[in-house]
Amino acid sequence: MSRATSTPGGKPPLYKIVMLGDSGVGKTSLVARLTNPDRPLNHDISATMGIEFDTQMLDTPQGKVKAQIWDTAGQERFARVLLPTYFRKAKGVILVYDITNAKSFESLSERWMAQLNDHSNADDLAKLLVGNKSDLESSREVSAEKASAFCQEYGMEFLETSAKSGDNVLAAFEKLIGIVHDRALNATKSKGGAKASLANNNKSEPEEDVVKLEEDGAAGSGDANACGC
Ligand code: GTP
């Protein structure tokens, strides 16, 4: 039986995922913590102004996959123009708010969910809610219960993270990419099933038992063309 962990050429599949949320919630810091776990958090970090992405190999229960993580600009004037590019060919989205900033949580339903629906087929995107800055417990403005209720409403999972301490950062990215990978495997299996039943009805059609994964492009790093974006 073939194990659906990589493309036929042996390369891990590449999935584009997008970070969304208000300016200052810690999107850039979360990506930086994931890709450079030992580097201290940079508090003088400047606001993201355009398109930046990093690629990172991640583990899932079904094997290694490569995530191309797009760090988006939270500031309205940049985000509005760039949203279609952010969402093009994306397979997953991490919605980030700051647990010490109630406004950043309210923006999820007031702004970011609407943007998701306007610019993508939201049902096709795997979604994860992340409450960042969990190290600042004494300044908390958003309870975990409130965030969980939001997740139930929109059908997504939830984790609290700290880009400062590193708490749950890897877990958050692995959780989302695991959901994305599962969805791709299931889609491939059902395509395979449809082909198999066609083959049974038409003996001239060869039956395929090779599991092919959807791959956006070559697994290159830092190249906007790698995923056809
Ligand atoms: P935009 O690029 O404007 O959309 O902002 P962003 O969401 O990428 O936020 P960024 O990563 O730039 O972080 C904003 C500020 O919050 C910086 O000063 C970070 O050092 C700080 N910060 C980010 N994550 C954490 C965290 O987990 N804990 C604490 N204490 N500070 C954090």
**Chain segment 160-183, per-residue pLDDT in tens:** 999 999 999 999 999 999 999 999
102 in ligand 1 pocket by Cβ < 6 Å? no
Our mutation pick for probing the ligand 1 site, out of 30, 36, 39, 45, counting the most ligand atoms within 8 A of Cβ, is 45
* Tokens standing for residue 125: 């995107």
Summarised one tens digit per residue, pLDDT across range 121-161 is 777 899 999 999 999 999 999 999 999 999 999 889 999 99
* CA-based nearest residue to 129, from 86, 88, 87, 98: 98
* CA-based nearest residue to 172, from 11, 31, 53: 31
Length of the chain: 229
* CA-based nearest residue to 53, from 225, 221, 228: 221
The answer to whether 78 and 48 are in contact (CB under 8 A) is yes
Residue nearest to ligand 1 atom 15, measured at CA: 24
Distances from the Cα of 18 to the Cαs of 12, 56, 89, 134, 193, in angstroms? 19, 13, 10, 21, 31
Given a cut of 50, the residues of the chain with pLDDT beneath it are 1-5, 198-229
Give the pLDDT of residue 202. Answer: 45
Q: What are phi and psi of 68, to 5 degrees?
A: -100, 110
Our mutation pick for probing the ligand 1 site, out of 18, 25, 29, counting the most ligand atoms within 8 A of Cβ, is 29
* CA-based nearest residue to 178, from 94, 114, 117: 94
Q: How many CA atoms lie within 13 A of 103 on its CB side?
A: 4
* Tokens standing for residue 106: 């309210």
The amino acid occupying position 107 is S
Partners of 58 in beta bridges: 65
Strand order in the sheet with 63-71: 52-60, 63-71, 14-20, 90-98, 126-132, 157-160
With a threshold of 0.85, does the pTM exceed it? no
DSSP 218: -
The answer to whether 148 and 115 are in contact (CB under 8 A) is no
The amino acid occupying position 32 is A
107 in ligand 1 pocket by Cβ < 6 Å? no
